[in-house]
A = this chain, B = another copy of it.
Amino acid sequence: MEKKNYTSQDVAEVAGVSQSTVSRVFAGNTNVSEKKRKKILAAAEKLGYKPNAHARSLITRKTMMIGIVMRNIRNPFYSAVLEIFHNRFSALGYHLIFINSENEEIQESEVTQLLEYNIEGVIITDALLSSSASEKFKRHGIVVVLFNRYTEQLESSAVFCDNYLAAKQIATYLVELGHQSFAFVSGPSDTSTTIDRLKGFKEVLQERGITNLMIEPGNYTFESGFKAAQELMTRNKNIDCIFCGNDIIALGVMDAIRTIGLRIPEDVSVVGFDNIRMAEWPSYSLTTWEQPLEEMVDKTVELLVSEIGDTNAQPQIVMMKGHLVVRNTVKSRK
């Protein structure tokens, strides 16, 4: 059993044609007679020939590779994101190089590796993009699109939910249902999602003259939500609603509250963000904000692909809406 990787030259010899013609067949070039095409395909089949993507990319300058950088793949929201991105890119013939950034910021070495592979674009989800990294990508003509994030400098395109507006609507909803004492469990304080969600929430409360808002830091994990809720409820027993930076925090918050012996929503209302699948599990049945995940991914892919084709495209910011999904974790207190 041979393990040799056959080349287009080998196929050409078996088929009795030139290497050029073999190449034309596999590049989808139409200028090949049907007779030779069949001969070539037969020879290729016999040899088990497949084109070498690396040699090809050297000439075409297309690698059909996209980098996707995530930090918290264990957050079900991002598992779903990854799945959908894969489906979309796969359909377009692109391949995904998966990078799980262990640190908040994407690391230099990770950037370098992506550069060496000449990826055509990169999607940054819940990791931070340093301006140094951003510049490197730009310098090498690699398209960057931020997903569920944006940077102030608007140096790369970004697709995200209007977190500010969503938080305002959630706050309004809670206020109008008669809640009095508010708490917010945040994600990392340097992420745009956290900043905007807090900002919108705070603003509405201020407008309504409500001052008792407690803010507890979290990091978008169940454990941080659990701890935050314990902390909050011991510091202030009057809290009657908690807005959580994301769903996974909300689940932790709910478990903590129940562990203390309080009931949801009778004693405390809880609202999440994302609408991950678990939010609708009967144990939680969480009222939350649904991000239009599929549409966000679609738009991201669309932006990325179009910018790959266009060397001097301008960065675009796409903000989506989403909507409140009412389940059973909020109670009217009027």
With A48-B139, A51-B116, A54-B63 known as contacts, the answer to whether A97 contacts B100 (CB < 8 A) is no
Q: Is the CB of B95 within 8 A of A97?
A: yes
With A255-B281, A282-B255 known as contacts, the answer to whether A140 contacts B5 (CB < 8 A) is yes
Q: How far is the CA of A311 from the CA of B2 in the complex (A)?
A: 12
How far is the CB of A28 from the nearest CB of chain B, in Å? 14
Which residue of B48, B100, B255 contacts A83 across the interface (Cβ within 8 Å)? B100
- Give the residues in chain B near A259, CB-CB below 8 Å: 282
Contact-size category for A: 35 or more
- A118 CB–B CB distance under 8 Å: yes
- Give the residues in chain B near A139, CB-CB below 8 Å: 1, 3, 48
Q: Is the CB of A100 within 8 A of B86?
A: yes
- Give the residues in chain B near A68, CB-CB below 8 Å: 98
- A321 CB–B CB distance under 8 Å: no
A 238-275 contacts with B by CB, 8 A: 251-252, 254-256, 258-259
- A27 CB–B CB distance under 8 Å: no
Which residue of B3, B95, B96, B118 contacts A141 across the interface (Cβ within 8 Å)? B3
- Give the residues in chain B near A256, CB-CB below 8 Å: 282
Question: Nearest residue in B to A67 (C-beta to C-beta)?
Answer: B95
How far is the CB of A272 from the nearest CB of chain B, in Å? 15
- A215 CB–B CB distance under 8 Å: no
Determine which residue in A5, A95, A99, A110 has the highest number of CB atoms from chain B within 10 A of its CB, and name it: A95
- Give the residues in chain B near A112, CB-CB below 8 Å: 50
Indicate how many identical chains form the complex. 2
- A57 CB–B CB distance under 8 Å: yes
- Give the residues in chain B near A82, CB-CB below 8 Å: 73, 98, 100
Which residue of B74, B258, B281, B282 contacts A282 across the interface (Cβ within 8 Å)? B258
- Give the residues in chain B near A35, CB-CB below 8 Å: none
Q: Is the CB of A116 within 8 A of B50?
A: yes
Q: Is the CB of A97 within 8 A of B99?
A: no
Query: Other CB < 8 Å A-B pairs besides A68-B98, A98-B98, A254-B283, 19 of them?
Result: A5-B140, A48-B139, A50-B115, A50-B116, A54-B54, A54-B57, A54-B58, A55-B58, A73-B82, A74-B76, A74-B79, A74-B277, A83-B100, A86-B99, A86-B100, A90-B100, A96-B97, A256-B282, A283-B283
Closest 7 CB pairs of A and B: A54-B54, A98-B98, A86-B100, A53-B116, A255-B282, A3-B141, A53-B117
7 A-B residue pairings within 8 Å (CB atoms)? A48-B140, A54-B117, A76-B76, A76-B79, A82-B100, A90-B99, A255-B283
